[in-house]
Amino acid sequence: MSSLPPRVNSAPHLAILDDEVDITQLLAGYLHGHGFRITQVHSGSALMALMSSDAPALVLLDLGLPGEDGFSIARQLREHWHCGLVIVTGRGDAVDKVVGLEIGADDYVTKPFDLRELLARIKAVLRRLVPGEAPAGPAPPGRLRFADWVLDTAARRLTSPQGQDVALTAGEFDLLCTFAQHAGRVLSRDFLLEHTRGREAGPFDRTIDVQVGRLRKKLEADAEDPQIIKSVRGAGYILVAPVTAG
């Protein structure tokens, strides 16, 4: 495990997990030059040790680790820590991309990649994670209630009808905020992308359907027969539950 010191004390901490040392060093040098504190790790166990001692705000995760399951590492991150997760891998198969997003990755970037584009995607995820640094289509502060759920847009928290906090990824939270702000209106995929990702949206972001599916699994009693977020064939999605403020 190696680390580059922060340029300033408040520099966001990023972790890079990749077994190829030359790649981690390239990324570390570039991102450090843009104001981030970087820790390089080369195994899942080293990343878990880091998460317990000095948890980063965001993890760049390679899936192709010798003898390790990158998807399993991603699941552990989502189950135990609240951090940004960007998969950066040579595995460009569409199935892998969908699985990565279903697990809860905030973004999926395939190698070879443009460093400037990766930097833009990292910044986009961090903006959605940090309260007060609003993404495109920011939600007004306050609480929104629908179907006995409570969405606290200021605290970025979702509370179930049973009073339990439900973990959402940054992308899921932004998507749910957009639905709640436009309840009763059919929203196209392009509209949802513009209001959750803005200019950082890329061609693969057509998988907005995957994020809607994840939200349904968390919100609906039966995700196969949704009663809160419904599909409108050929048009998009609609939050049908009435939304009230306060």
pLDDT for the residue 3: 62
Closest among 103, 93, 99, 181 to 143, alpha carbons compared: 181
Strands 84-89 and 107-110 come out as parallel
R_g over Cα of the chain: 18
Per-residue model confidence as pLDDT tens digits over 53-81: 999 999 999 998 888 899 999 999 988 88
CATH topology of domain 2-129: Rossmann fold (3.40.50)
Q: Are 183 and 241 in contact (CB under 8 A)?
A: yes
pLDDT for the residue 199: 42
Residue 108's Cβ-count burial label (10 Å; 0-12, 13-18, 19+) is buried
Segments of the chain with pLDDT less than 70: 1-10, 130-141, 197-207
What residue spans define the domains of the chain? Answer: 2-129, 143-245
Q: What is the DSSP letter of 85?
A: E
d(CA 41, CA 38): 10
pLDDT for the residue 145: 93
CATH class of 143-245: mainly alpha
End-to-end CA distance of the chain: 47
Backbone angles phi, psi at 82, to 5 degrees: -105, 100
CA torsion 122-127-128-130 (nearest 10°) is 120
How many CB atoms neighbour CB 138 within 10 A? 15
Closest among 66, 61, 63 to 84, alpha carbons compared: 61
Per-residue model confidence as pLDDT tens digits over 126-161: 887 764 443 334 445 588 999 999 999 888 899 999
pLDDT for the residue 138: 44
Q: What is the mean pLDDT of the chain?
A: 85
